[in-house]
Amino acid sequence: MLPVIAWNLISLEILITLTLVSLVILDILLPKGTKNDWLGFASFTALLGLIVFWTTQQSVTGITFSGMFVSDSLSWFFKGFFLITMIFIFVMTQQFFKFLGERRNEFYLLLWLSLLGMCLIASSADFLLLFISIEILTISLYVMTAYLRSDKLSIEAGMKYLILGALSSGFFLYGISFLYGITHSTRFAAIQMFTATHSISPLMLFAMVLIFAAVGFKIVAVPFHMWVPDVYQGAPTPVTALLSVGSKAAGFIILIRLFFGIFGPWHAEWSILLAVLSAITMCYGNLVAMFQTNIKRLLGYSSISHAGYLLMGAAAGSMIGASAMNFYLLGYLFTNLAAFLVIILFSIAVKSDDIADYAGLARRSGILAGTLLIALISLAGLPPLAGFFGKFALLMAIIESGFIWLALIAGINIVISLYYYLMIVKKIYVDTPNSTSLIAVSLPMRLILILSMLAIIGIGICQGPFLDAAIASVKGMYLLHF
Amino acid sequence: MIGLGHYLALSAIVFSVGVFGIITSRNVLKVLLSLELLLAASNISFVAFSRFNGDYTGQLIVFFVILVAAAEVAVGLAIIVLMYRRLNTIQADELKEMKW
């Protein structure tokens, strides 16, 4: 007998695939060399439609495809997260590729493909599906990273990302093969049944470490961070933004599914490992970020340090920890994307990503300077912005689990990070500008910048509903151990 | 008698050769080749486990892995062609535009 498939559970993925296919057809039908960005317009409209559809899907939960595909509160939360991220990325792409003409259409298709990969990652309940969806996401990111084919830096970034990415997926697959060999299954439910009844064996620890290599690569934890600065600097800026928010959040959803779900029973063994990794990651990111001269590279190192903060929530190994991670990611989404939006608008006008060129930005464009200010001090974690309450929740979770030393290290790191974030703020507001020409910002861009500023301040001031959403997302998680 | 241990040893050797190749090769094509070895090593252990565990999931996974490996190589070769056109070399240590 064939298993019954509940198609309504994967309706969002089906709709994304249908959109992707119709955009391919639209791309073929459209006359070549057209000036108007039809595909961008269609993508944006379809994405808004999908977000409306997503809001109706909260109550649709269950597992299907013989337990391979799960739709629960966690996947619902993160699918919304990815859709909102994509709105920003599409806007950035429209700005960034204004001058690229014909080759921008394929870029939209790749973005849709990566969205499909991220949504599938959010819903994976089987290592085979997880591996394939990670590869869908990563391979489309390889292509997008090397997309500016006349730009040396872009090619170099693509090559480095490909080599290290493929290496980490090789580790991941090798780890899965051992996990499969020991537990006789790749289903999360079956593996959790095994971990709940057995204690950890050396071979199992080996498999777990190999699997963590792939997760660490996505969330940019320290031994797997080598690609970050180069790829962040060299990739087209919309791709950098996607890497720093979408791909990172995809890594964290895998982390939550694995360590709060299937490896949950072995919490005592891995929590100290994650705590040490978290401390090393945040120290490394913050210390190296101080000496950067390129703003995309600086945000790369800042992304490493934020991965360190977020790992605290995982090390806490409690429901509060996981909820704090989700809440922090929500604030991080708007903060980081607002910063990258400013970087794109600035680099289009000034053709530079050097921090030195940001001197006196406040006198050239008030709105860009204001947004960057809000974004940077939210990243640094000053009240009353989103970043502050995210860090507060993470610290609370880690102290509750008894890692006082980690909370102290995090406190020191937050102070260090204040230094380099505020150095940029000083440059923007105090230093004299190199040129006095004004930077024009179009009306729709102004609107989006103001909206993202409001989101950063809004999440900071009335945290309640967002915190509730983050807690609810973890509470209804499939196979939750805690 | 060849048992599970032999196959796992073979896959460990192939995996180590792959990692060694990635670390030591200067030629990007060789690096790409070594990356394929990693996936091949996983395939060997999947099939071995599948055979000795007595279920077919492992053999099924191998087909998907071959597919993914092909996609990865396609993109990898495209980027190498791009690199050769722009930088006139496929030596990995020429990729030094960005540091620190």
Return the percentage of chain A with pLDDT > 70, whole number: 98
Contacts of B23 (CB under 8 A, 6+ apart): none
Beta-carbon pairs below 8 A across chains A and B? 119
Confidence (pTM): 0.95
Contacts of B61 in chain A (CB under 8 A): 128, 176, 180, 186
Q: Are residues A234 and A355 in the same domain?
A: no
A370, part of any domain: yes
**Domains in chain B, number:** 1
| 3-class DSSP assignment, residue B26 | coil
pLDDT in tens, A212-264: 999 999 999 988 998 999 999 999 999 999 999 999 999 999 999 999 999 99
The pLDDT value recorded for residue B6 is: 95
Q: Is A186 on the interface with B (CB under 8 A)?
A: yes
Helix axes A73-96, A443-461, angle to 10 degrees: 150
Q: Are residues A247 and A333 in the same domain?
A: no
> A99 pLDDT band (50/70/90 cuts)?
low
The pLDDT value recorded for residue A345 is: 92
Closest residue to B82, CB basis, from A153, A155, A160? A155
> A75 pLDDT band (50/70/90 cuts)?
very high
B100, part of any domain: no
| 3-class DSSP assignment, residue A327 | helix
Higher pLDDT, A482 or A299: A299
Closest CA to A307 of A232, A210, A367, A385: A232
| Distance separating alpha carbons of residues A118 and A96, to the nearest angstrom | 23
> B90 pLDDT band (50/70/90 cuts)?
confident
Q: Are residues A471 and A342 in the same domain?
A: yes
Mutate to test the interface with B, among A134, A159, A172 (most CBs of B within 10 A): A159
Cβ burial of B30 (10 Å; 0-12, 13-18, 19+) is middle
Q: Is pLDDT above 90 for A6?
A: no
Closest residue to A181, CB basis, from B45, B76, B87? B45
Return the percentage of chain A with pLDDT > 90, whole number: 75
The pLDDT value recorded for residue B100 is: 53
The two tokens of residue A422 are: 């505020």
Q: Which domain holds residue A157?
A: 9-167+225-251
Average of per-residue pLDDT values in chain A: 92
> A101 pLDDT band (50/70/90 cuts)?
low
Q: Is pLDDT above 80 for A184?
A: yes
Q: How long a stretch of residues is chain A?
A: 482
The two tokens of residue B93 are: 């240590």
A257, part of any domain: no
Q: Is A95 on the interface with B (CB under 8 A)?
A: no
The two tokens of residue A316 are: 């806490």
B83, part of any domain: yes
CB B28 within 8 A of CB B83: yes
Q: If you average pLDDT over residues A415-423, what whole number do you get?
A: 93
The amino acid at residue A124 is: S
Q: Which residue of B has its CA nearest to A166?
A: B35
- Write the CATH number for B17: 1.10.287.3510
Task: Find the Cα–Cα–Cα–Cα dihedral A113, A117, A120, A122, rounded to 10°.
Answer: -130
Q: Are residues A143 and A229 in the same domain?
A: yes
The angle subtended at Cα A433 by Cα A431 and Cα A434, nearest 5°, is: 130
Q: If you average pLDDT over residues A294-298, what whole number do you get?
A: 93
The pLDDT value recorded for residue B92 is: 82
The amino acid at residue A285 is: G
The pLDDT value recorded for residue B91 is: 87
Query: B22–A230: do the CB atoms touch at under 8 Å?
Result: no
A180, part of any domain: no
Q: Are residues A142 and A280 in the same domain?
A: no
Q: Which residue of B has its CA nearest to A301?
A: B100
Q: Residue A294: beta bridge partners?
A: A354
Return the percentage of chain B with pLDDT > 70, whole number: 98
The pLDDT value recorded for residue A102 is: 64
| Distance separating alpha carbons of residues A340 and A375, to the nearest angstrom | 9
Closest residue to B57, CB basis, from A142, A152, A185? A185
Q: Which residue of B has its CA nearest to A210?
A: B42
Query: A135–B72: do the CB atoms touch at under 8 Å?
Result: yes
CB A226 within 8 A of CB A258: no
The two tokens of residue A204 are: 């199992």
Q: Is pLDDT above 90 for A189?
A: yes
Q: Is pLDDT above 90 for A373?
A: yes
A193, part of any domain: no
Query: What interface predicted TM-score (ipTM) does this complex get?
Result: 0.96
pLDDT in tens, A459-475: 999 989 999 999 999 99
**Domains in chain A, number:** 2
The pLDDT value recorded for residue B87 is: 87
The pLDDT value recorded for residue A342 is: 94
Q: Is pLDDT above 60 for B95?
A: yes
CB count within 10 Å of CB A190 equals 14
- Asked, as a colleague might, if the bond just before A384 is cis with ω within 30 of 0, I would say yes
- Long-range contact pairs involving A471-474 (C-beta distance under 8 Å, separation at least 24): A471/A319, A471/A323, A472/A73, A472/A77, A473/A73, A473/A74, A473/A76, A473/A77, A473/A78, A473/A323, A473/A326, A474/A73, A474/A74, A474/A256, A474/A260, A474/A319, A474/A322, A474/A323, A474/A326
CB B44 within 8 A of CB B11: yes
CB A476 within 8 A of CB A74: yes
Query: A158–B57: do the CB atoms touch at under 8 Å?
Result: no
The pLDDT value recorded for residue B18 is: 95
Q: Are residues A24 and A157 in the same domain?
A: yes
Sign of CA dihedral A22, A25, A27, A31: negative
Q: If you average pLDDT over residues B36-43, what whole number do you get?
A: 95
Sign of CA dihedral A412, A418, A419, A421: positive
Q: Are residues A234 and A299 in the same domain?
A: no
A174, part of any domain: no
B28, part of any domain: yes
Q: Are residues A352 and A230 in the same domain?
A: no
The amino acid at residue A303 is: S
Q: Which domain holds residue B65?
A: 4-94
